[in-house]
Structure 1
Amino acid sequence: MDLLLFLKAIIMGIVEGITEFLPISSTGHLILASELMNFWTPEKSAVFVVVIQMGAIAAVIYEYWSRLWGAATGIITGEENGRRLGLGLILASIPIILMGLTFGQWVKDVLFNDITVAIGLIVGGLIIWWVEKNPRAINAPEVENISYKQAIYIGLIQVLSLIPGTSRSGATIIGGMMLGLSRKAATEFSFFLGIPVIVGAGLLDGWQSRHVLQGTTDWLVIAVGVIVSFISALILIRVLVAYVAKRDFMIFAWYRIASGLIILLFALTGWKLW
C-alpha cells in the first residue's frame, strides 16, 4: 500500500473541500495541486478530480437537508417557497447538463491545462471586481425569493464553469448578484445548484472511467478523497455563510487575478513553477 499516495489523496480532498464553494475554481486548484504533487497517473487523477467533488456536495446535502427536502416535496405539495426553489433549481440545472453531456469530454481533453486555468482565474477575478464595485439593487434577499427567470439566467451563466479556472461557484454567485440576489441568497443557491451537476458528473465520469481504476487500492484512494472533501467542505460552508453576511468578495477577486498572472507567467515563459 502506497502511504504517500493516500497522503496526497488527503491533501487533494482538503483542496477540493476548501475551494469547491469559494469563487476561485476548485477544478483549477485541483489540476494545479495534482501537477504539483505528481499525483497518480494523468488518467486516474482526472477521474479523482471529478469524483471527489461528490464528497463536497454531500456536505451541502447534510447541512441543508431540511430546506432541500422542503424544495423537493414543495414541487408535489405546492407549498410556495419550496415549489419555487425546487423548480428554480431544476430550470437552472438544465443548461449545464445538456452542455456537459455534449462537450464535457472535449473540455477535459482540450481545456484541462495551466493556461486555460490562468485565463479563467484572471477574467473571473476582473468580473468579481466589477460586480462588487457596481452593486445592484437586491430583489431576492433569501434563496426562496429567487424567480424562475433569475434561476434560468443563473443556469445559463453556470455553463461557463465548464471552462477550468472559471469556477462554478464564482459564476453562479456573481451571476446571481448581477441579477439582484443578496450575497447570502446567491451563495446558498450556488450550494444547492451544485447538487445535480456535481453528483451527475461524478457518477457519469466514474462509470465511464471505471476501467481506469483497477483494484481495491484505487477505490480506497477515491474513498479517502471523498471523505476528506466532505469534512473540509462542511467546515467551509459554515465559515463562508458567516463571511458573506458581513463582507464582500473582493479578496477573492484579487486572489484570482494574482494567482492567474503567476500561473500564466510561468506557463508562457517555460519556467518551472515547482
Structure 2
Amino acid sequence: MEDLFKVIILGIVEGLTEFLPVSSTGHMILAGNLLGYEGGSADTFKIVVQLGAVLAVFVLYFRRYMDILKDMVRLKLNVPNKLNVIHMILAMLPALIVYLLFKDLIKNVLFGPGPVLISLVAGGILMIAAELAKRRVTSENTDDITYKQALGIGIFQCLALWPGFSRSGSTISGGMLLGTSRKAAADFTFIISVPVMFGATVLDLYDSRDLLTKDDFVLFLIGGAASFIVAMLAVVTFLNLIKRLRLTWFALYRFVVAGLFYWLVMS
C-alpha cells in the first residue's frame, strides 16, 4: 500500500514535469529519494512511467503522426519541405546508439540525487546559452526543419540520457542554437518524444526483466495511469507555456530546485 501511494505521487510528478524543460526524470529521482522509493525496479519505473505522459502527446499530435504514417505506407519517405520519417530517424538515432553503448553506466552511476543536481545546473546553463546566443532563425516551424538540424537536435538529445538535463530542455536548446524557432524546436521535441520514450521503455523493461515481479508491473500501470491523467489535464497549457516563455525562466527554476534539494537533503 505504501508503494502504491509512492507510485501515484511519482506519476503525478511525471505528468506535471514531462512537458517542461525541467527534467521529469530528475524530479522523479529527487522525489523518489525523498519518498524512499529507490533501487532497481524503482529506476525502471522512473523510465516506464514517462510513457503515460508521452501518450498525452500522442493524442495532441495524433493528426501529425497519422500524416507521417500515411507517407510511410505510400513509401513517400523523403518528402521535401515537410516533416517526415527521415527527420524522426535522424533525431532518434544518436541517443539510441549512446544508450545501447553506455546503458549500464547511465543507470548505475547517473541515477542518483548527486548527478541529477549537477545536470540540473548544467542543463540550466545550456538553456541560458541558447537564449543568449546570437543566431539566425531559418526554421520557423517543424516543416522547415532540415535533416542536418534534425540530426543536430538528435545529438543534443544524447545529453538527456543524463537524468536532470531534460530531454525537452536539451533538444529545444539545441534546436534554437541550430537555427530553429523556439516553437519549431518545442513541437519537434514533443513529436519525436513518443517513439523515443516507447523505445526506451521497451529496452529498459527487457534489460530489467529478471528484477521485476508481477506486483511491479501493477505499480507501473497505476503510476503510468496517474501520469497520463495529469498530463492530459496539463498538456495544452504547459506546451503553450514552453513556446512563449524564455528558457531562462526554466533555467532559474532548475537552479532553485537544485539548491533547495542540496540544502534540505545533502548538506
Shared fold, TM over 0.5: yes
Q: Which amino acid aligns with 1:67?
A: R
Report if aligned partners of 1:84, 1:148 keep a CA contact under 8 Å in 2: no
**Closer, same or farther in 2 for the Cα pair 1:244/1:21, shift >3 Å?**
closer
TM-score by length of 1: 0.89
Per mean C-alpha deviation after superposition, the further-off stretch among 256-265 and 5-14 is 256-265
Q: Say if 2:10 and 2:223, in contact at 8 Å, map to a contact too.
A: yes
The CA RMSD over aligned residues, in Å, is 2.0
> SS of 1:80's equivalent?
coil
Distance 1:43 1:31 in 2: 12
Structure 1 position 71, deviation (Å): 1.7
Would you say 1:49 and 2:46 are equivalent positions?
yes
Contact 1:70 1:82 (C-alpha < 8 Å) held by counterparts: no
Q: Given the two structures, how large is their TM-score scaled by the length of structure 2?
A: 0.91
Higher mean displacement: 171-180 or 201-210: 201-210
Instruction: Check the 8 A contact 2:95/2:158 in 1, yes or no.
Output: yes
Query: Is the alpha carbon distance of 1:53 and 1:81 closer, same or farther for their aligned partners in structure 2, counting shifts above 3 Å?
Result: farther
Equivalent pair of 2:186/2:243 in contact (CA under 8 Å): no
Per-residue displacement from partner, 1:114-169 (whole Å, max 9, x unpaired)? 22111111111122122223353321111121100000100111111111211111
1:70 aligns with 2:60: no
Are the equivalent residues in 1 in contact too, given 2:15–2:226 (CA < 8 A)? yes
Matches within 5 A, 1:157-196: 157-196=156-195
For residues 189 and 243 of structure 2, the distance between their equivalents in structure 1, rounded to whole angstroms, comes to 15
Which residue in the other structure is 1:136 paired with?
Answer: 135
Counterpart of 1:120 in structure 2 is 119
Letter in 2 for 1:33: A
User: Do the aligned residues in 1 keep the contact of 2:145 with 2:180 (CA within 8 Å)?
Assistant: yes
CA–CA distance in structure 1, aligned partners of residues 33 and 149 of structure 2: 38
SS in 1 for 2:244: coil
Cα distance in 1 for residues equivalent to 2:96 and 2:209: 21
Q: Percent identity?
A: 37
Match of 1:87 in 2: 86
Give, as a single letter, the amino acid of the residue that structure 1 aligns with 2:48.
Answer: V
CA distance in 1, matches of 2:85, 2:170: 20
- Which segment is superposed worse, 236-245 or 142-151? 236-245
Shift of 1:264: 4.3
Q: Post-superposition shift, 1:245?
A: 4.4
Q: Residue 154 of structure 1 aligns with which residue?
A: 153
Instruction: Name the CA distance, whole Å, in 1 between partners of 2:163 and 2:244.
Output: 29
The corresponding residue for 1:241 is: 239
Shift of 1:244: 3.7
Moved more, 178-187 or 135-144: 135-144
Aligned residues: 265
Contact 1:24-1:252 within 8 A present in 2 as well:
yes
> What is the alpha-carbon distance in structure 2 between the residues aligned to residue 206 and residue 85 of structure 1?
29
- Counterparts in 2 of 1:82 and 1:50: CA distance versus 1, 3 Å: farther
State the match for 1:259 in structure 2.
257
User: For residue 117 of structure 1, what is the amino acid of its counterpart?
Assistant: V
Q: Who is 2:104 aligned against?
A: 105
Contact 2:16/2:231, CA 8 A, preserved across alignment? yes
Partner of 1:31: 29
Alpha-carbon distance in 1 for matches of 2:109, 2:84: 35
Quote how far apart the aligned CAs of 1:224 are: 0.7
Measured against aligned partners, the alpha-carbon deviations of 1:68-98 in whole angstroms (never above 9, x if no partner) come to 1212322423683686432101111111111
Residue 79 to residue 122, structure 1, CA distance change in 2 (3 Å): closer
Native 8 Å contact 2:7 2:223 kept in 1:
yes
Q: CA deviation at 1:259?
A: 1.9
- Partner Cα separation in structure 1 for residue 239 and residue 80 of structure 2: 21
Structure 1 unmatched runs, 5+ = none
Indicate how the Cα distance of structure 1 residues 127 and 12 shifts in structure 2: closer, same or farther if over 3 A, else same: same
Report the Cα offset of residue 256 of structure 1.
1.1
In structure 2, what is the Cα distance between the partners aligned to 1:82 and 1:226?
36
